[in-house]
Structure 1
Amino acid sequence: MSWNDFYQRQQALAEVLDSARRDLSAAFETVPGPFRDTDELLAALHHKWMLQLTGRVEVALADTENAPHGDRVEAVTEAWRRAARDNPGLRAALDVHAGNPALEEATAREHRMLAVAAGLAEDHEPPRDQARVGRAFLQLLRAAPAPDQHTRPGRLRKLIPSL
């Protein structure tokens, strides 16, 4: 891929996400030029999401290692929530297309990364088990209310043994 191709793809992704912020259903009515089809566009969007998410997870884990009472589950939870909050159009576009088979493997990779990063699965465990744990973790993360000034962090941690 040339630099020109790269910039065209980035511009097309930005336009799709801008459109998704205004009208999610209309954002995918046509596939922008640099992409062959919706599947390729979704793969590029998920890649963009993973860049946002993994960067935040890595920083959160580094901060947790240096904290006296660091909690990897809470660190990964907050990193995911921050990535979703900072990229609402991207997250919404992926959520709307979550059932698309084109996202199946990419989503499983995301789930595996979340499970291992949170310390809920180990690198040596079968990928299917890692993905299952990560999927359950993400479901809990999304179901649990985000902490505010009236709640204490750690509420999600209490639910983890039920995995």
Structure 2
Amino acid sequence: MTWTSFHRRGEVLRDVIASANRRRDGRLPMELTGVAETFGDELVLLGALQLRWHTRLAGRIERELLAEPMELEDAVVAAWHATADELPGVRAILDRERTAPSTPASSAAMAKATAKEHVLLAMMAGRVSTPDDAAARVGAEIEDRARATYRPAPLPADEPSTLLGRLKAVVAA
């Protein structure tokens, strides 16, 4: 991958994430300009979004653990909540692909990624010490707790109703 294609991929992925976060409908935005040319197919884009979620979650967990080193599981749950607030559209896409995968390949990819995420949650919460099936089960319990206690951030207000939104609309016209 060349430097130019690397940067182009990053730009397109940012556009995909922004669109997904606005829509929050759980569908991959394959219709966006540059997506098909950059990622090729849905599975590759899904993998990129899964990687973005996983790395953001891992970073959030690290920051939360710095703030609450004695309450490890609470910190992990808080990190899951914060990541879901930062990437609500990505989370919706991943959830949709987990529950109703579009292809057998995406089903397999999501199963593997989910198991790895569960292991991460369990290990960072200090509940297990080895990345095995038991860790995946414990991590699933932690994710269930995070989901049960999650209160999504409200959708942003329609921008044109704000002063800044009205100014942007006037300048764009």
Q: TM-score range by the shorter chain?
A: 0.7 to 0.9
Conserved in 1, the CA contact under 8 Å of 2:122 and 2:135? Answer: yes
Q: Secondary structure at the match of 1:121?
A: coil
2:51 aligns with 47
Tell me the percent identity: 36
Aligned AA (2:72): R
Partner Cα distance (1:55, 1:63) in 2? 13
1:144 aligns with 149
Correspondences of 1:26-41 after superposition (within 5 Å): 27-30=28-31, 32-41=36-45
Please, which of 113, 116, 119 is the counterpart of residue 120 of structure 2? 113
Correspondences of 1:1-163 after superposition (within 5 Å): 1-20=1-20, 21-22=22-23, 24=25, 27-30=28-31, 32-65=36-69, 70-99=70-99, 100-123=107-130, 127-144=132-149
For the aligned residue pairs, the C-alpha RMSD in angstroms reads 2.0
Superposed CA offset, 1:112-161 (max 9, x none): 000010112112xx522111111121012211355xxxxxxxxxxxxxxx
Distance 1:59 1:25, change over 3 A: closer
Partner Cα distance (2:97, 2:56) in 1? 18
2:155 aligns with none
Partner Cα distance (2:4, 2:18) in 1? 21
Per-residue deviation, 1:93: 1.7
Per-residue deviation, 1:18: 2.7
1:154 aligns with none
Q: TM-score, normalised by structure 2?
A: 0.72
Per-residue deviation, 1:71: 0.5
Superposed CA offset, 1:72-115 (max 9, x none): 01111111101111121221121121243222212211110000
Query: How many residues were matched structurally?
Result: 140
Aligned AA (1:134): G
Distance 1:78 1:29, change over 3 A: same
Conserved in 2, the CA contact under 8 Å of 1:19 and 1:26? Answer: no
Distance 1:27 1:106, change over 3 A: closer
Q: Which runs of 5+ in 2 are unaligned?
A: 100-106, 152-173
Please say which structure displays the higher CA radius of gyration. 2
Conserved in 2, the CA contact under 8 Å of 1:17 and 1:27? Answer: no
Per-residue deviation, 1:15: 2.2
Q: Which runs of 5+ in 1 are unaligned?
A: 147-163
Runs of 4+ with deviation above 4 angstroms: none
Per-residue deviation, 1:64: 2.2
